[in-house]
Amino acid sequence: MSAYALEFDRITVTFRAPDGEGGGYTAVSDTTLRIRAGEFVSVVGPTGCGKSTLLNIGAGLLDASSGDVRVFGEPLRGINARAGYMFQAEALMPWRSCIANVMVGLQYRGVPDDQARAQAQAWLERVGLGEFGDRYPHQLSGGMRKRTALAQTLALDPDIILMDEPFSALDVQTRQLMENEVLALWAAKKKAVLFITHDLDEAIAMSDRVVVLSAGPATHPIGEFEIDLPRPRDVAEVRNLPRFVELHSQIWNVLRDEVLKGYAQQLRKAA
Ligand SMILES: Nc1ncnc2c1ncn2[C@@H]1O[C@H](COP(=O)(O)OP(=O)(O)OP(=O)(O)O)[C@@H](O)[C@H]1O
């Protein structure tokens, strides 16, 4: 079996112009990125640079214009069935209770209801919501809804977890709690994680490796950093380590100019 859970090999993504005319917009260009089984990799880059596009390619939700995606060494065709996703937007069904939301993926897979319920309950307990299974999403706080979504993703026991800014809508304290919970769950199961974020502190605190993308168009990796901070980590405490500060400054040196370019582009687009 391949040592890599997910491989992006020379991926280019060009979106067609809306009128079908012209050359279109190349969001991602010639990008190679490999994530080992059990590795936690974050991708950071300026706003609009192509982070979600890359994640969607890995999920099999979008086809690359050129290049290959491999999952545990096998070419990816269609949806990536070995991956679970967690996106920024709320994905819970408002008409289903918390436990029914966690069960839904298992039911789609054909797990009998009583087993699905027992597994969902176990996951709710792991994320600290054992008592809240019968509540509906609107009866939960933002952090509790995120925990439910996390349980929903992990209940399917994916080998690869794709996360697109999952905690960006949360307040700082809740966010740090959630980040620590994800790290604890990850440490117990050691799945491959591809984590997309704007937030360099979050990327460093959580990851084994941080990949920096250039500003678009034609985004590609421009830096890669091993995060050799000790584990287990508390995301709030790890930020005080001198090595964290050093890594932050090294990565920010690479990221800063791209952020400024990305910001200038957003202003041009808005004009
Ligand atoms: N379906 C599409 N058609 C045309 N252009 C698209 C499409 N999807 C994304 N883009 C463009 O590709 C670029 C990359 O978008 P993407 O959402 O991947 O960036 P991002 O880095 O995730 O952004 P953010 O940081 O704001 O979440 C953007 O300029 C976006 O406008």
Three-state SS letters, 194-240: EEEECCHHHHHHHCCEEEEECCCCCECEEEEEECCCCCCCCCCCHHH
| CA distance to 45, 47, 192, 210, per residue, from 40 (Å) | 17, 21, 6, 9
47 lines ligand 1 (CB under 6 A): yes
Q: What is the pLDDT of residues 49-98, one digit of tens each?
A: 899 999 999 999 999 999 999 999 999 999 999 999 888 777 899 999 99
Cβ of residue 51 lying under 6 Å from some atom of ligand 1: yes
How many CB atoms lie under 10 A from the CB of residue 119?
Answer: 18
pLDDT at 14 over 90: yes
Phi-psi region of 73 (alpha: psi -120 to 50; beta: other; left: phi over 0): left
Question: What amino acid occupies position 105?
Answer: G
- Average pLDDT of the chain to the nearest whole number: 92
For domain 4-82+163-270, give the CATH superfamily.
P-loop containing nucleotide triphosphate hydrolases (3.40.50.300)
Of 11, 26, 47, 51, best ligand 1 pocket probe by most atoms within 8 Å of the beta carbon: 51
pTM over 0.80: yes
Do the bridges between strand 25-36 and strand 40-44 make them parallel or antiparallel, or are there none, so unpaired? unpaired
Beta carbon of 263 within 6 Å of any ligand 1 atom: no
ipTM of the complex: 0.95
Q: Structural domain boundaries of the chain?
A: 4-82+163-270, 88-157
pLDDT in tens, 17-49: 776 666 788 999 999 999 999 999 999 999 888
The secondary element (H helix, E strand) that includes residue 13 is strand 4-15
Report d(CA 271, CA 259) in Å as an integer.
18
In terms of C-beta density within 10 A (0-12 exposed, 13-18 middle, 19 or more buried), how is residue 231 classed? exposed
Residue 111: Cβ within 10 Å count: 18
For the Cβ of 46 lying below 6 angstroms from any atom of ligand 1, the answer is no
- 13 forms beta bridges with 28
pLDDT given at position 48: 85
Residue 261 pLDDT: 86
